[in-house]
């Protein structure tokens, strides 16, 4: 009661309590080393992941990395673009079910390459990229289509499609990794799942709110076929391609592949297309240019070096040597 | 006079100063102990020493698994962690797969593999497929009730077995680790960045 009558004593008492509490907190750290370690790792993780959405060419400067060009890997861990809010909310099992049906449709249309060595090798490359992606626990499965087109798609549930023609344009593992990385990014951003929802809304407006996997077998078949046709005919939206190219470049950097792997693959495709067009200007020259610019911008943002692991020997030994001769 | 009223209330409740101080100390201890980080990639070996070359492997850490940091190497690139050693059981036709905790373990991982935020997970941490690959991916399809995708594949004259074989190509954690090591990729890359600057030795 005496304390309450004297405000000075009350203030002194409170101060003593705060001092005691502070000392107590310091004393209760489990271990000085542990505390510092957690702090350092947390700060590092913050640098890498909390800069999401702020990745500009100034990013390196902000983090003080302009003179530390070795540290491009940190920037490549900045969060990749998330699937748009409008993307259908599928459970992972449903996503895999939709992807599996689409795979069956593509195999039915194009046929697939049957070669154990190539399949095993490409699945290892893709699994490595997926392991370092923003969905590290999502499995991936690569299917090589018997088509001379030069294309790749990332379907729902981690099913990746790549054509023999696209693989023929690769000259090293880093180029194949760039191609597969873009497909993984496409799958993670749910581009094809969104396309499937659009097709479903157009074909079956009364069931637009349902998941494709909840439809009757007949309706499900209609949606799968329409989605495959749309992907083959129109490809994916330009914005999705740009986002996939950026993420693929990040994945190459995270793993230590040559950062320009995808860029090199695109350049080879362009050269082949130019040769085939017998000197006529390419209709999709603009698309090549846009993709090249996108990758260049990302490489500049990351301060990525021009060299990395291209791994051409393993590529030749385990994949390109097993590809069937081109049909012309 | 809010402070005076608060003190008067404490006095009536007969809560001594010592108790209050003890409560604050306990809260501090809990906060310091619960600082946790998460594994950001699919899987990585936990080493007995802060090096990829020296020492052996003390377990495997899987995506999203939570760890407590207990120490840091001199160069700052490796952290000693305490983690729950998980073991998944072999699923059979009758039993669902289970993941059991096999006690706490300690070991070293490269600091850059840890993140403050848990990554997006398709399955609980240490789901079987992260460890055993494609073998655990596909549920045994029932001939009486094929899945929607399998029924569709059959209608398009694509053998569901072909699809299952494709899924089985997803490598195990060991196979992937060997592949990355051979290519000097991922955590085995030569220029893995250091926390303190430069590249990891």
Task: Identify which has the larger pLDDT, A315 or A80.
Answer: A315
Mean per-residue pLDDT, A200-216: 90
Within a 10 A sphere around the Cβ of B37, how many other Cβ atoms?
A: 25
Give me chain A's average pLDDT, please: 81
Query: Is residue B157's pLDDT more than 80?
Result: yes
Q: How far apart are CA A318 and CA A115, in angstroms?
A: 11
Per-residue pLDDT of A147-164, as tens digits, reads 999 999 999 999 999 999
Can you say how many angstroms the Cα of residue A104 is from the centroid of all Cα atoms in its chain? 23
The secondary structure element, H or E, covering residue B55 is: none
Q: What's residue A68's pLDDT?
A: 40
Query: Is residue A45's pLDDT more than 70?
Result: no
pLDDT band at B145 (very low <50, low <70, confident <90, very high): low
* B23 interface with A at CB cutoff 8 Å: no
Q: Which of A97, A108, A96 is nearest to A232 (CA)?
A: A108
pLDDT band at B191 (very low <50, low <70, confident <90, very high): confident
The secondary structure element, H or E, covering residue A275 is: helix A261-276
Query: Is residue B173's pLDDT more than 80?
Result: yes
Q: What's residue B37's pLDDT?
A: 86
Q: What's residue A207's pLDDT?
A: 87
Q: What's residue A276's pLDDT?
A: 87
Tell how many helices (H) and how many strands (E) occur in chain B.
Answer: 6, 7
Query: Is residue A66's pLDDT more than 60?
Result: no
Beta strands in chain A (DSSP E): 141-145, 152-155, 159-163
Q: What's residue A172's pLDDT?
A: 96
Query: Is residue A31's pLDDT more than 50?
Result: no
**What share of chain B has pLDDT > 90, as a percent?**
21
pLDDT band at A5 (very low <50, low <70, confident <90, very high): low
pLDDT band at A88 (very low <50, low <70, confident <90, very high): confident
Query: Is residue A63's pLDDT more than 50?
Result: no
Q: Tokens 């999203």 appear where?
A: B64
B33 CB neighbours in chain A (<8 A) are 30
Q: What's residue B147's pLDDT?
A: 86
Question: Counting one residue from A and one from B, how many pairs have CB atoms under 8 Å apart?
Answer: 234
Mean per-residue pLDDT, B138-148: 63
Query: Is residue A117's pLDDT more than 80?
Result: yes
Residues 125-154 of B with CB under 8 A from A: 125, 127, 129-130, 133-134, 137, 147-153
Mean per-residue pLDDT, B70-83: 83
B134 CB neighbours in chain A (<8 A) are 139, 141
Q: What's residue B36's pLDDT?
A: 80
- Cα–Cα distance list, A303 to A66, A143, A309 (Å): 8, 33, 17
pLDDT band at A56 (very low <50, low <70, confident <90, very high): very low
Helix A217-234 to helix B148-155 angle (10° resolution) is 70
Query: Is residue B108's pLDDT more than 70?
Result: yes
Query: Is residue A48's pLDDT more than 50?
Result: no
Q: Which of A163, A171, A177, A166 is nearest to A121 (CA)?
A: A177
Q: How far apart are CA A151 and CA A83, in angstroms?
A: 22
Q: How far apart are CA A172 and CA A265, in angstroms?
A: 9
pLDDT band at A35 (very low <50, low <70, confident <90, very high): low
B28 CB neighbours in chain A (<8 A) are 21, 24-25, 28
Per-residue pLDDT of A260-307, as tens digits, reads 999 999 999 999 988 888 777 777 788 889 999 999 999 888 877 777
Top residue of B36, B72, B117 to mutate, by most chain A CBs within 10 Å, is B72
Highest mean pLDDT of the ranges A56-70, A78-92, A307-321, B120-134: A307-321
Q: How far apart are CA A140 and CA B134, in angstroms?
A: 9
Within a 10 A sphere around the Cβ of B115, how many other Cβ atoms?
A: 21
Indicate yes or no: CB of A37 within 8 angstroms of CB of B4.
no
pLDDT band at A84 (very low <50, low <70, confident <90, very high): confident
Residue in B25, B80, B171 nearest the CB of A127: B171
Q: How far apart are CA A155 and CA A149, in angstroms?
A: 18
Q: Are strands B99-110 and B57-62 parallel, antiparallel or unpaired?
A: unpaired
Of A209-213, A221-225, A322-326, B9-13, least confident by mean pLDDT is: B9-13
Residues 6+ apart with CB under 8 A from A90: A98, A156, A193, A211, A213
Q: What's residue B58's pLDDT?
A: 84
A286 to chain B, minimum CA–CA distance in Å? Answer: 34
pLDDT band at B162 (very low <50, low <70, confident <90, very high): confident
pLDDT band at A325 (very low <50, low <70, confident <90, very high): confident
Mean per-residue pLDDT, B90-101: 48
Of A53-62, A230-239, B24-33, least confident by mean pLDDT is: A53-62
DSSP SS3 for B155: helix
Query: Is residue A231's pLDDT more than 70?
Result: yes
Helix B148-155 to helix A92-110 angle (10° resolution) is 10
Mean per-residue pLDDT, B20-38: 58
Task: Identify which has the larger pLDDT, A82 or B66.
Answer: B66
ipTM > 0.90, yes or no: no
Q: What's residue B11's pLDDT?
A: 64
**What share of chain A has pLDDT > 90, as a percent?**
56
Top residue of B40, B146, B149, B192 to mutate, by most chain A CBs within 10 Å, is B149
Q: Which of A138, A119, A120 is nearest to A129 (CA)?
A: A138
Task: Identify which has the larger pLDDT, A199 or A22.
Answer: A199
A315 CB neighbours in chain B (<8 A) are none
Indicate yes or no: CB of A28 within 8 angstroms of CB of B166.
no
């Amino acid at each position: 009661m005496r304390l309450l009558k004297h405000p000075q004593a009350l203030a002194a008492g409170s101060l003593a309590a705060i001092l005691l509490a502070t000392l107590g907190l310091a004393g209760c750290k489990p271990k000085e080393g542990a505390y510092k370690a957690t702090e350092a790792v947390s700060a590092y993780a913050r640098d890498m992941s909390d800069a999401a959405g702020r990745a500009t060419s100034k990013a390196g400067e902000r983090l003080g990395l302009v003179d530390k060009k070795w540290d491009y890997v940190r920037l490549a861990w900045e969060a990749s673009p998330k699937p748009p809010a409008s993307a259908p909310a599928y459970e992972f099992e449903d996503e895999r079910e939709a992807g599996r049906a689409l795979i069956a449709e593509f195999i039915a249309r194009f046929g697939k390459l049957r070669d154990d060595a190539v399949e095993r090798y490409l699945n290892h490359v893709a699994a490595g990229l997926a392991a370092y992606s923003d969905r590290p626990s999502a499995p991936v499965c690569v299917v090589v289509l018997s088509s001379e087109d030069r294309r790749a798609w990332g379907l729902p549930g981690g099913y990746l499609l790549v054509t023999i023609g696209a693989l023929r344009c690769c000259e090293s593992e880093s180029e194949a990794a760039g191609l597969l990385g873009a497909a993984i990014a496409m799958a993670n951003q749910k581009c094809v799942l969104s396309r499937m929802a659009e097709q479903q809304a157009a074909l079956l407006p009364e069931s637009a709110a349902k998941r494709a996997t909840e439809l009757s077998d007949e309706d499900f078949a209609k949606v799968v076929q329409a989605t495959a046709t749309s992907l083959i005919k129109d490809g994916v939206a330009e914005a999705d391609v740009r986002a996939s190219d950026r993420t693929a470049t990040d994945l190459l950097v995270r793993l230590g592949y040559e950062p320009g792997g995808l860029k090199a693959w695109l350049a080879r495709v362009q050269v082949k297309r130019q040769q085939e067009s017998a000197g006529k200007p390419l209709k999709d020259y603009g698309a090549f240019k846009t993709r090249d610019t996108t990758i260049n911008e990302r490489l500049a943002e990351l301060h990525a070096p021009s060299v990395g692991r291209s791994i051409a020997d393993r590529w030749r030994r385990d994949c390109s040597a097993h590809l069937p001769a081109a049909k012309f | 006079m809010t402070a005076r009223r608060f003190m008067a209330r404490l006095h009536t409740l007969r809560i001594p100063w010592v108790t209050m101080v003890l409560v604050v100390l306990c809260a501090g201890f809990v906060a310091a102990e619960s600082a946790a980080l998460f594994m950001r990639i699919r899987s990585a070996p936990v080493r007995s020493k802060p090096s990829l070359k020296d020492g052996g492997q003390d377990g495997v850490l899987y995506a999203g698994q939570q760890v407590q940091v207990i120490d840091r190497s001199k160069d700052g690139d490796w952290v000693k962690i305490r983690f729950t050693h998980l073991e998944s059981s072999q699923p059979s036709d009758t039993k669902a797969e289970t993941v059991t905790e096999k006690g706490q373990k300690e070991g070293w991982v490269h600091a850059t593999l840890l993140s403050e935020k848990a990554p997006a997970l398709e399955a609980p941490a240490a789901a079987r497929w992260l460890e055993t690959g494609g073998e655990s991916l596909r549920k045994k399809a029932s001939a009486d009730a094929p899945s929607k995708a399998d029924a569709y594949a059959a209608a398009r004259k694509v053998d569901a077995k072909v699809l299952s074989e494709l899924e089985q190509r997803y490598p195990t954690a060991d196979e992937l680790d060997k592949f990355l090591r051979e290519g000097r990729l991922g955590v085995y890359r030569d220029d893995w960045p250091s926390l303190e600057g430069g590249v990891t030795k």
